[in-house]
Each structure stands twice: as structure tokens, then as C-alpha cells.
Amino acid sequence: MSSTTHIDQRPANHRSVPPTTALALAYRVVLAQLTSRGRIVALTALALVSTVAGFALGQADADLEAGVRLISGLGFAVVIPVVSLVFGGAAIGDLREDKTLVYLWLRPMDRWPIVVGAFLAAVTLTAPITLIPVIAAAVLAGSGGGLVAATVIAGLVAVVAYCAVFTLLGVALRRFIVWGLAYVLIWEGFIALGGAGVARFAIRKYTRSIIVDRTGIDLNLADFSQTTGIVVPLVAAAVALAVASWQLARQDID
Amino acid sequence: MTALPPPTTAVLPPPSAGPEQQGMISVREVSKFFGSVVAVSDVSFSISAGVTALLGPNGAGKSTLFRIMCGLTPPSRGTVEVLGADPRTDRAVRGRLSLVPQQDALFDHLDALQMVTVSAQGHGVHEPTDAAMQALAHVELSDVGSKPVGQFSKGMRQRVKVACALVNDPEVLILDEPLTGLDPVQRRNMIALFHRLGDEGRCVLVSSHVLDEVARLGSRVLVIAQGRLIASGDYHDLRGLMDDRPLRIRIGTSDPRRLATALVDRELITALSLDANHVTVDTNDADAIGRRLAPLARDLGVRLTEVHPLDDDLESVFRYLVEGR
């Protein structure tokens, strides 16, 4: 084996990594880790169910309310949250579970670029896999431009918010998939329907509010303005990423 | 077992490098608890440039201690300083140390050059690809092509991990069982690399649970067992102690009683037990048994069918060091 540089000859200025470099590195590493063919095929197939349903609705000449209920009940209740959970939770969670997180953690860099880079990688995969089929469903349902525009806006908000919250779950909890499914299926699916108070802690309430605001179709527990429906989830996303960064700096790394 | 007069036991000097000494790594009264489990208990030492071996059986607390020294987990009690800083909170010091983790974890979709380049970029190394190629050359992996590391053998993966640790030119290099999975030639080369790094003024701390590896790693040894630092010092002192410690040997023979009587008469054993075809003895001088047993059996006219050391494993060595038995 060849000899190494003598310690005294080493440059002294390579000890700190700028946040932008750290973010780009984390983004590339996590994106490559998340990109497995099986996972993408399975989740795309799930998302295409909404497209098929939208096509069927359009063929049946269904009205706007049926289109709104389809997009809200399938796209925003199942497709976007579940795909976001898989990618958002795995963004840091997979690195931690397969013990490769040490290769990012034990480096002279801040923690927040690691979290934000991982979050952006999750968004990069989640957005096209969910939004294209769900927006296609809104188009194919034939319910008009209002639903399509609402789906675009609410979809972007939902992807950002869910990915951020589930990135936090991946940092903080070992069984992030179980807890994430519990949040989507139990909290948002049942408990949040029980009253306005608990519904404030459900991302779905805000995305439904955006759709209701733009289409005029009345949905249960969707009484916020469009502005509130956009701003609150994005603030929640920022808070989730901040907490995730704080948590990552303090947790034990294997 | 019939006990003969008790053997005198000796242990290595207790850890001598105390908290008052400031080395490149300083560990002061460190303990680590996981619930009710004590993984590391009141450990103090200080080490400087050169190669130091951390020896201990599996589960002794070596990896936990390494994780504490790298800041991957905080100590429950005590303090750790690496290059004068807390590795848990000081961002800059993380660029001056490297860890080869015990776990066989790599970004399996990357090839070796990409993997080491990622490590270089994470350290903010200038010209990371060049640095990665240089690090791969150190571990003789320059020509592995674009095959993903997920398809590498255990030994190759181990060398990729070492290359990742070398790429930032660290002043402190902590290697957790780095020789696992390497063939004898690779082990020899890797140990030579560690010595070169130590000779260059770096602090190289290598863990192992294999005595023979430690023999080649260097003369400075820290011995840890059951979470406690039980000895530190020169390897040759430890080796001498190993050779002198009481050893239990099972001897298969055609006449156990006669052979046992002869061994007692010659003061070669300290305790014995008999069954129909065996005599099991404790001895403080295994070398003497080895030299004199066959001639003695020949002189007595008894046949030997088996000579088998019962506690020549590392666990028994540590039991002896910890408990003096």
C-alpha cells in the first residue's frame, strides 16, 4: 500500500462544508438511495388507480361534486399521503436503519442541510409519481378547470407538507411507516373527522379547504380559506424540518 | 476438582494513562448506560500519536466506546475530548477524525470511487475525486472498475470503508474491527498502513477481539472487558501474562491415576480431576506440560490419547484478567 501525505503537509482549510454543498450532497445520496425500481413501480401503480377512476368518472358524465369527492377521497386521502410516507419516511429513516447515516452525520457540516436535502429528494420523487396521475384524474373526470387548478395547488401543498412531516417521522421514530400509516389512516381518516379542533392537526383538512375554496363544492371539515389552506401546511412543513434537524443533531447514530 | 495450593495470579498494571494527561484522545471517567444495561463503566485513558490497540471480547463495550469518542452517542457520565474538542458538538473536529464503523454498511448502489468521493465531499476535501482515487490506492482498490460496492466481497467492502476514512487525511483515525474479512496478505498490508499512519503523527486506534491481530498492531494496548478498562500498557507484558496464566488441560490416557500422581510429584499442576479415561489438570506452566508430558508418559508406560486445552480462548483470557481465575 502506498504511503499517505504526512500530517504536517495537509491543507488546513478543508475542515468545514458549506450548507449548500452539504445540502446538494445529501440530496444526491438520498435520491439515489430512494430510487429503487420496485418501489417506484409499486407506488406509480397505486397512483394510477386515481387516474383510472377519473377516467371512469369522465366516461360516466359525472358531475363536479363526484369529481371533487374522487380527487379528495382518493388522491388526497390515500395516494399523496401514502407515497409521501414511503419516500419522506425513508429519506432519513432508511439511512438510519441500514446504518449508512454515519457517512453523512460524522462530517463537518450542519444538520439542517442533511434534513433539507433528504426532504427535497423525497419531494423530487413524490411529486411526479403522485401529482401527474392525480391531476390527470382531475382532467379525465371532466369536471372543469376549477377542479384541475385546485388539484394542482392543493397537490403541491400536500406533497410538501406530507414529505416534511414524514421526514421528521423518519428521523425521530424507528417504525416510521407504522406511525405514518396510523396518522394517515386513523388520525386523518377517522379521528380528525370527529371535530374541528382535532381536524386542525390534519393536513387533509387544509388541502380539502383549498379544493372547496376553488370549486365551491361543500366537503366535510373543509372550512378554511384558500390562503389558510396553503400557508398553514407550509409553515407546518418548515417547523417539521426544523424539529427534524434539531432531533438529528441530538440522537444516537449507529 | 481437587485443588492443590492456589496459583499466584498477576494482572497487567491498571490503566496508567489517567485523566491528567492530555492526548489526542482524552476519555475521562466515561460511563454509558442503555436503560439498566451498563455498556461502558467509568473508563479513563488518554492516547496520543501512533497505533493503539483496543482489545476486548465481543460485547465488551469497544464499539460503544468508539461511538462515544466519535460523538455518535453522548456519554451518560464523564467527558471525551478529541483534539481538545467535544466530538459530539464541535463541527470542526469531525473533519479531523475518521471512523471505520464495525457494521458492514455502505451506499451499495455506488461504485468504490463514487462511495469514497461522497465521503470526501462530506469532509469538504478539495478535489474530492482525486483524493478518493488516492485513498483507494492506499487500500489497493484502484482497479475495481464501476462495479457497485453492493457486489463486493466482505474484504473489499472493508477496504472501501478504510478508504472512506482516509480520504480526509484525518489526524485521528478510529477503526472498529477493520481487519474482519480480510485475507492474510490484506491484513498484513492493512496493518503496515496503520503503522505508517501512526508513524506520521496520527492517532490510530484499532479495536480487535483477536489476540494475534493485536500482537501485530502495536505495542500499546488498552484492554476492555464488561465495559471496564481493565488494563493498559505494553502488549508484550500482556502476552507474557497470557503465557503465564493458569491453563486447564484435558489429557486422555490409558492410566489417568498413575499419570496424575506423576504430574503432582513433579509439581507441574495446581489442581486435577479424574475419570475413567482422562485426567483434567490446572497448570501455571503450560510450556512445561507441553515439553515434559510425552517423555513422562513414555517413562511411565502409559499411553496418551488426547491433550486438549480447555480454556485457551479469548473469553478465558479476559476472565483471568478481570477476575484473576
Q: Which residues of B touch A99 (CB under 8 A)?
A: 101, 103, 105
Q: Inter-chain contact B122–A98, Cβ cutoff 8 Å?
A: no
Residue spans of the domains in chain B: they are: 25-241, 245-323
Judge whether B68 and B74 are in contact, CB under 8 Å.
Answer: yes
C-alpha cell at A60: 360516466
Sheet holding B25-34, edge to edge: B37-47, B25-34, B77-82
Give the model confidence (pLDDT) of A17-58 as tens digits.
999 999 999 999 999 999 999 999 999 999 999 999 999 999
Give the pLDDT confidence score for residue A222 in this predicted structure. 73
Q: Inter-chain contact B169–A7, Cβ cutoff 8 Å?
A: yes
Cβ within 8 Å of A, B 249-308: none
Task: Please state, in angstroms and rounded to a whole number, the distance separating the CA atoms of residues B18 and B22.
Answer: 9
Judge whether B71 and B87 are in contact, CB under 8 Å.
Answer: yes
Q: Inter-chain contact B109–A33, Cβ cutoff 8 Å?
A: yes
Give the pLDDT confidence score for residue A43 in this predicted structure. 97
Going by CATH, does the domain composed of B25-241 fall within 3.40.50.300? yes
Nearest one of A175, A207, A169 to A78, comparing CA atoms: A207
Q: Inter-chain contact B107–A3, Cβ cutoff 8 Å?
A: no
Give the pLDDT confidence score for residue A4 in this predicted structure. 45
Give the pLDDT confidence score for residue A6 in this predicted structure. 44
Give the pLDDT confidence score for residue A218 in this predicted structure. 83
Per-residue pLDDT band at A250 (split at 50, 70, 90): very high
Q: Inter-chain contact A253–B202, Cβ cutoff 8 Å?
A: no
Give the pLDDT confidence score for residue A119 in this predicted structure. 98
DSSP class per residue in A52-116: HHHHHHHHTT--HHHHHHHIIIIIIIIIHHHHHHHHHHHHHHHHHHTT-THHHHSSSS-SHHHHH
Going by CATH, does the domain composed of B245-323 fall within 3.30.70? yes
Give the pLDDT confidence score for residue B147 in this predicted structure. 87
The answer, for B188 touching chain A at a CB cutoff of 8 Å, is no
Q: Which residues of B touch A252 (CB under 8 A)?
A: 67, 72-73
Give the nearest partner residue to A6 out of B70, B166, B200, using CB atoms.
B200
Give the pLDDT confidence score for residue B232 in this predicted structure. 85
Q: Inter-chain contact A33–B124, Cβ cutoff 8 Å?
A: no
Helix (H, G, I), strand (E, B) or coil at A187: helix
Mean pLDDT of chain A: 91
Task: Please state, in angstroms and rounded to a whole number, the distance separating the CA atoms of residues B281 and B309.
Answer: 10
The answer, for B72 touching chain A at a CB cutoff of 8 Å, is yes
Residue spans of the domains in chain A: they are: 17-189+196-250
Per-residue pLDDT band at A197 (split at 50, 70, 90): confident
Task: Please state, in angstroms and rounded to a whole number, the distance separating the CA atoms of residues B317 and B256.
Answer: 27
Per-residue pLDDT band at A11 (split at 50, 70, 90): very low
Judge whether B111 and B91 are in contact, CB under 8 Å.
Answer: no
Judge whether B132 and B163 are in contact, CB under 8 Å.
Answer: yes
Residues near B125 by beta carbon (within 8 Å), at least 6 away in sequence: A14, B131, B167, B168, B169
Task: Please state, in angstroms and rounded to a whole number, the distance separating the CA atoms of residues A169 and A81.
Answer: 13
Q: Inter-chain contact B94–A3, Cβ cutoff 8 Å?
A: no
* Positions in chain B whose pLDDT score sits under 70: 1-22, 239-245, 311-325
Strand ranges in chain B using DSSP code E only, listed in sequence order? 2-3, 25-34, 37-47, 50-55, 77-82, 97-100, 172-176, 203-208, 220-225, 228-234, 247-253, 271-274, 278-283, 304-309
Give the pLDDT confidence score for residue A219 in this predicted structure. 81
Give the pLDDT confidence score for residue B214 in this predicted structure. 78
Give the model confidence (pLDDT) of A67-123 as tens digits.
999 999 999 999 999 999 999 999 999 999 999 999 999 999 999 999 999 999 999
Q: How far is CA B284 from CA B4, B223, B307, in A?
A: 12, 22, 16
Judge whether B303 and B253 are in contact, CB under 8 Å.
Answer: yes
Give the pLDDT confidence score for residue B314 in this predicted structure. 58
Mean pLDDT (whole number) for A55-70: 91
Helix (H, G, I), strand (E, B) or coil at B79: strand
Closest chain B CA to residue A105: B72
Give the pLDDT confidence score for residue A67 in this predicted structure. 93
Q: What is the DSSP letter of A222?
A: -
Q: Which residues of A touch B118 (CB under 8 A)?
A: 25, 29, 103
Give the nearest partner residue to B124 out of A4, A5, A17, using CB atoms.
A17
Q: Inter-chain contact B72–A18, Cβ cutoff 8 Å?
A: no
What's the predicted TM-score (pTM) here?
Answer: 0.83
Give the pLDDT confidence score for residue B74 in this predicted structure. 96
Give the nearest partner residue to A102 out of B101, B168, B196, using CB atoms.
B101
